[in-house]
Amino acid sequence: MNSIKFIRIVYLVTCCRVPIIIGLMHLYVHFDELMGDVIKQYLLKEFIVLSQWQPLWYTWGMTSFMMGIGFVIIGLLHSISFMALVKREPPSIALLLTGLLYYLGVLYSGILFKQSFQLYGGFICVNLLLYSVVFMAMTKEIEIYASLECKKVKIEDVSIGLRQIGAGKNLVFIHGFPTHGYTWRKLLPELSKHFKCHILDLPGLGDSEWTTTTDFNSQQQAGYILKLLKKIAIDDYSLIAHNSGATIARFIAIQEKRKVENLILFNTEIPRHRPPWIPFYQKIGLLPGIAKILRLLLRQKWFLKSPMGFKEFYTDISMLDVSSNIEPYLNPIVQSQQKAIAALKYLKGIDWKLVDEFKHLHQHIEARTLLVWGENDRTFPLALGKQMLDQFRSTAEFVTIKNTSLLPHEEKPNEVLRALLNFVTI
């Protein structure tokens, strides 16, 4: 059990049950004939003073009844609020308001049961402490990534953004479309304890630079990376790559058989398969005015959450409402015409001829290979991804991450980390 799950259990068992119990105490006097003996004994055990205050609650009548219902609802909603935070999603304003009501309810109970005031004050302290611990855990990976210096490494007519962290064997991260190095933020705190992590921003996306004559083809992108690795004197390394970045990584693994030790691929292009909308965007993306139209559409939530937008990123569509999940990818495109065009050029550069040839080229990869796949991915369906496993002659394994889609490393980072650390030799 990881620490976040442990905190959630402790919190739900201690703090969140308080308003629910208070509510049940109010309802007890109205429905005592309907409550089972087990519930009655539980309430009496929790609050001995129940019997002392029972006559007063009878006199409160409807007020007591409504308070009972209110406290139960507040307790349940506050539980949901906390679990949203544990899932690394900032709670909504409505749920935060239930948290405020929760505090007021606990204070009210402390005043009502004067002999237990210190106990209720303790509950509030525990609540705030647990919230703080989980919030810090939620923001830690973003702060770590933001703290890394981005070096611009000049290669021919491009500059590749390079961030580095950790020590040990070399692990090179290659993002896909439309993400950039930020997509690995949730894996870096743990992996940097074991590896020297080199996080790239490829031409067209993230903190990279390019010119009007830059070639964004997948094979050319691989060439840029190989020249970068040579320039910073990295000879032996493992590759971890996602979607179109994993196409580039496979080409590198074929070209540099002796240098690539492990090849880890996330939800990537499949021979003879074309994902929805991508070929369409490749055809129209660079037509006059399309980049501007796309920027306008991406400002609309309905489009952002549609299959033509970012809907397929996550199984849990509510993750698109979390600014830290989506704005780092969205803002550069929406705010800059130049970056929008560059992103479309990167997309246009995906080499489908190379992807189809992988059916026969996979057998030439000598690196140990791990394919990590989101169970619900509609862009690159799970069943088709599994079919690629037989195309490798080297050691190859396949791991399915349940309840995730195109970005399993963002939705379920802990499960992905377990799979990676079980596979890669540290």
- Domains, the chain, ordered by start: 3-142 (no CATH), 151-423 (3.40.50.1820)
> Can you give the pLDDT at residue 144?
85
Mean pLDDT of 203-222: 96
> Can you give the pLDDT at residue 20?
52
> Can you give the pLDDT at residue 238?
97
Q: How confident is the model at residue 79 (pLDDT cuts 50, 70, 90)?
A: low
Show the tokens assigned to 130: 């647990």
Show the tokens assigned to 6: 């442990």
Show the tokens assigned to 367: 């690196």
> Can you give the pLDDT at residue 323?
86
> Can you give the pLDDT at residue 310?
94
Mean of the per-residue pLDDT values for the chain? 81
Q: Does residue 22 register a pLDDT over 80?
A: no
Mean pLDDT of 284-289: 93
What DSSP character marks residue 197? E
> Can you give the pLDDT at residue 30?
43
Q: Does residue 197 register a pLDDT over 90?
A: yes
> Can you give the pLDDT at residue 111?
54
200: β partners: 162
Q: Does residue 36 register a pLDDT over 80?
A: no
> Can you give the pLDDT at residue 112?
53
Contact by Cβ (8 Å): 395, 367: no
CA Rg value for the chain: 27
Least confident segment among 54-63, 80-89, 287-296 = 54-63
Mean pLDDT of 202-222: 96
Contact by Cβ (8 Å): 295, 273: no
pTM over 0.85? The answer is: no
Contact by Cβ (8 Å): 203, 211: no
Q: Does residue 60 register a pLDDT over 70?
A: no
> Can you give the pLDDT at residue 418?
94
Mean pLDDT of 409-425: 93
Q: Does residue 24 register a pLDDT over 50?
A: yes
Exposure class string for 380-402: b at 16+ Cβ within 10 A, else e: bbbeebeebeebbeeebeebbbe
For the chain, give the percent of residues with pLDDT over 90.
62
What DSSP character marks residue 388? G
**CB-based contacts of 144: which residues, under 8 Å, 6+ apart?**
165, 185, 188, 189, 192
Q: Measured between alpha carbons, how far is 377 from 408 in angstroms, rounded to an integer?
A: 9
152: β partners: 161
Mean pLDDT of 341-361: 97
Q: Does residue 388 register a pLDDT over 90?
A: yes
Least confident segment among 67-81, 195-209, 322-336 = 67-81
Residue of 159, 176, 161 whose CA lies nearest to 211: 159
Residue owning tokens 């991915």: 377
Q: How confident is the model at residue 345 (pLDDT cuts 50, 70, 90)?
A: very high
> Can you give the pLDDT at residue 103?
59
Mean pLDDT of 79-90: 54
169: β partners: 195
